[in-house]
Amino acid sequence: MTAHTWWPTDAATEFLAPSIVRAGRGASAQAPAVLAEHLGIREGAVLVAVDDIVARAGLTQPLVNALESAGYEVAIEGGFGSEPTAEVIDAVAARARGVDAVAVIGIGGGSVLDTSKIIALLIRNEGDAAGWIGAVTPPNGIAPLLLMPTTSGTGSEATRIAMVTVGGAKRASSSPLYIPRAVILDPDLVASLPGPVVASTGMDALAHAVEALMSSQRSPLAAHHALRAIELLVSDLEAAAAGDPGARARCLWASHLAGQALNAGVVVGHSLAYCLAYELPMPHGTSCALALPYCLAYNSSLDTDIAASIASALTAGRTTDLREAAQDVFQLAERLGLPVTLDQAGIPAGTERAIAERCVTEYPRPTNPVPLEIGALETLVQAMRTGDLDAAFAAVAVTR
């Protein structure tokens, strides 16, 4: 393609990203230098929020040893679980205030990194986690953040969003201040991940990149990063899930690039993913993988240049047809061993209408290129029941 008429060079856009990304095998041990050189933190107590599984595997020890050797006081907090609640976060934030923490380091998957963001906010501001939902502007800013992902999927180390469970439902807190000033990407932290975790989180990253390209708020930099992330994931995700260390390192970078692109906003695919998980809890990346082909179907009327670019990236240049690209995504998820139909995922029959309604009422997406409509979404979700992509594309075309 040469026109690139969808590239929004004349529109008012914004691109948000960390100030410093230090990367390389063993880079987690360089945290003291990053704190001192880039965050101006040379002494005091540092709160380290850790994923329990990562800690038990010994992956946090190089970080802790390096911090203690550099003279920092280290307060380690874990026990967040896969869906951290506001109450758990509040308790950790209170202990962080108690030790006068001057910075927060998060090392783990998306839940721990999101939690670290909210803790950094609560260290400096009044209130509790449940009181900071939606778009927030903390008057006292947030404590300096250094985030280190241990999965190749969420991209949380680069995003303005922090998810927290309030009253049993996942809610988003959003602020540009959540984007950390410093990130460390250490391939050693993803080298020992189980293959199914790599598969699921990698599909999450793929969804981030594709949805960012569809977003009405995309910027030229978001588009650039998203396309590169798709290219890496399409070529390397299967090898990464099979254990190839080089492929895992590239998927870590792809996840980070997709996370930066994600600040343009996700679209209907993530709404569907959250609503599927509401009906039957499952890993977020798994629900994103299930929803992504149908996200392509629902938005198949978007700008032709964007559609062609997305399709070309997803199929490694084989085609510019979005329907064929959706089939490739479907088959990739299938090869990775992820469910590709509602029946395979165990989503109860008869929930299609409720899923569609919840998408519109609880997870509206103003950045989606077309409005979210309950009727069209219900038809789409019905097609997801058996994995009928032809029906999905045809039904959406009829409803438009």
The backbone torsions φ and ψ at residue 221, rounded to the nearest 5 degrees and listed phi first, read -70, -40
Average pLDDT of the residues of the chain: 94
Tokens standing for 64?
Answer: 């802790």
Task: Residues 195-399: name the CATH superfamily.
Answer: Dehydroquinate synthase-like - alpha domain (1.20.1090.10)
Which of 270, 282, 296 is closest to 204 using CA atoms? 270
| 39 to 31, 34, 35, 102, 158: CA distances (angstroms) | 11, 7, 5, 10, 16
Strand 134-135 relative to strand 73-77, pairing: unpaired
Tell me, what amino acid is at 142? I
Going from N- to C-terminal start, the domains of the chain cover 20-189, 195-399
Give the tens place of pLDDT for each residue, 120-161: 999 999 999 999 999 999 999 999 999 999 999 889 999 999
The CA distance from 89 to 375, in Å, is 38
The CA distance from 257 to 230, in Å, is 9
Give the tens place of pLDDT for each residue, 70-95: 999 999 999 998 889 999 999 999 99
Q: Name the strand (E) or helix (H) holding 344.
A: helix 342-345
pLDDT for res 282:
94
Q: Name the strand (E) or helix (H) holding 66.
A: helix 61-69
Task: Supply the DSSP string of 173-236, one letter for each residue.
Answer: EE-GGGS-SEEEE-GGGTTT--HHHHHHHHHHHHHHHHHHHH-TT--HHHHHHHHHHHHHHHHH
Which of 238, 232, 270, 245 is closest to 337 using CA atoms? 238
The backbone torsions φ and ψ at residue 133, rounded to the nearest 5 degrees and listed phi first, read -100, 150
What is 20-189's CATH topology? Answer: Rossmann fold (3.40.50)
Give the tens place of pLDDT for each residue, 342-383: 999 999 999 999 999 999 999 999 999 999 999 999 999 999
pLDDT for res 4:
61
Give the tens place of pLDDT for each residue, 328-343: 999 999 999 999 999 9
Do residues 140 and 148 make contact, with C-beta atoms less than 8 angstroms apart? no
Q: Is the pLDDT of residue 7 over 80?
A: no
pLDDT for res 179:
97
Taking CA 169 as the corner, what is the angle to CA 357 and CA 210, rounded to the nearest 5 degrees?
A: 65
